[in-house]
Chains A and B, each alone.
Chain A
Amino acid sequence: MTHDDPCAHCEEMMQPYLDHILSDEEMREAEMHLDECEWCRRRYTFEESLRVYVRQAVSREPMPAELKQKLAALRIPLN
């Protein structure tokens, strides 16, 4: 695989593509390339799963119950 223009360009478009901020024309361009290029398609699929995996990894640590109690105690008492 050489980093010829189409794949290098596709790499540049990956983040905006997954963020849905490409123009309609750029979107079509990316999809046309992905339809015929397995090499890029694999990398796009990986990026999508990475985002989900990162979110799972950082969300698994629950808030300590003790901290919850401390926050409730910060409420300003009613007079």
Chain B
Amino acid sequence: MAEAPSDATRLASEARDRVRFEEEALGLSDQVYRVARHLANSREEADDLVQETYARAFRSWRSYTPGTNLRAWLLRILTNLNIDRGRRNQRAPQMQPLEANDYYLYDKLAETDGPTDEDRVVERLSQDDIVTALSEVPHDFRDVIVLVDIGDFSYQDAAQILGIPIGTVMSRLHRGRRILKRELADSVSEEGS
């Protein structure tokens, strides 16, 4: 009686795979949210983005290959949705961001009062300053900083998620960090004035 699996058996096996996929995906939601929160411009936008990402992931779970990087797969959906939204919402071309040299922020902070050990000079910045400064970094650069410096993705993964060459990831990351430091240095000047 060895026949091909019945429809019922096949459906049961597929249901098990789907449940496993959904549970694994939900287990990564904190990490997905953390990236979304800083890619999007507001908390509300991040909430929407995460929900849209999961709705799409649950619908197209069959296109995920088990055993591959599920976090990268989810974030690829998320960044694509975010880029589409950005295109829709962008009313005016973004200003050319101002960059500073890599040592600029340190030199600026060294002029202010606070801890003097170089590994504690950073504490002269408030954590709110950092969150605000990051939100001021234009999207193209922020996406890469969020994926690599906060999401712990390799250059290769970030390139794949964003659909850009690895060299572009590296140059955007380096420029993006300089833009972020410039924004932070500006926040120091504003507080000091």
Contact = CB atoms under 8 A, between A and B. Distances in A.
B87 to A, nearest CB: 25
Contacts of A53: 122-123, 125, 127, 130
B105 to A, nearest CB: 7
B129 to A, nearest CB: 8
A51 interface: yes
Interface string A26-52: 000000000000000011011111110
B141 interface: no
A58 B50 contact: no
Interface stretch (B14-22, B64-72, B76-84, B157-165): B14-22
A35 to B, nearest CB: 16
B85 interface: no
A46 B60 CA distance: 44
A59 interface: yes
Nearest to B61: A76
A56 interface: yes
B38 A58 contact: yes
A76 B119 contact: no
Given A11-B101, A70-B51, A71-B29, A58 B34 contact: yes
A59 B127 contact: no
Interface of B: 11, 15, 18-19, 22, 26, 29-30, 33-34, 37-38, 47, 50-51, 54-55, 58-59, 101-103, 105-106, 109, 118-123, 125, 127-128, 130-131, 134, 149-150, 170, 173-174, 177, 180-181
Those 7 A-B pairs whose CB atoms lie nearest each other, nearest first: A57-B127, A57-B130, A63-B33, A45-B118, A42-B118, A49-B119, A46-B106
Interface of A: 11-12, 14-15, 21, 42-43, 45-51, 53-64, 67-68, 70-72, 74-76, 78-79
